[in-house]
Structure 1
């Protein structure tokens, strides 16, 4: 399991990165979501890596 936490604002990001955050369910700063560890989620995290913090649990 991966815990993804939004740590930076999505203001100033390009539209694709905003859509990625919406698809992950991250709308507010300091909001956390848990995901299964798979390639799709890893790719989404890679696209917005400068905005999120990832911890493995």
Structure 2
């Protein structure tokens, strides 16, 4: 089974750029505190890295 990561939205999107908002939306996040589990691929790692000031990333079980 592939490794997975848990991405949690920790801050709001009020003073962010449109590109950052689209990036968070494409990760599947909508509300503060919401978490999603995604496969640990370079695509998802890169998207989370672009908005690293808004999200937390941790290993999922």
Q: TM-score, normalised by structure 2?
A: 0.90
Deviations 1:1-57 (A, max 9, x none): 100000000110000000001101100000000000001001100100000011102
**Which of 1 and 2 has greater Rg?**
2
Task: Give distance in 2, aligned partners of 1:43 and 1:53.
Answer: 13
How many aligned residue pairs are there?
57
Task: Give distance in 2, aligned partners of 1:45 and 1:24.
Answer: 8
Task: Give distance in 1, aligned partners of 2:52 and 2:25.
Answer: 14
Name stretches of at least 5 consecutive residues in structure 1 with no aligned partner: none
SS of 1:55's partner is: strand
**Moved segments of 4+, more than 2 Å:** none
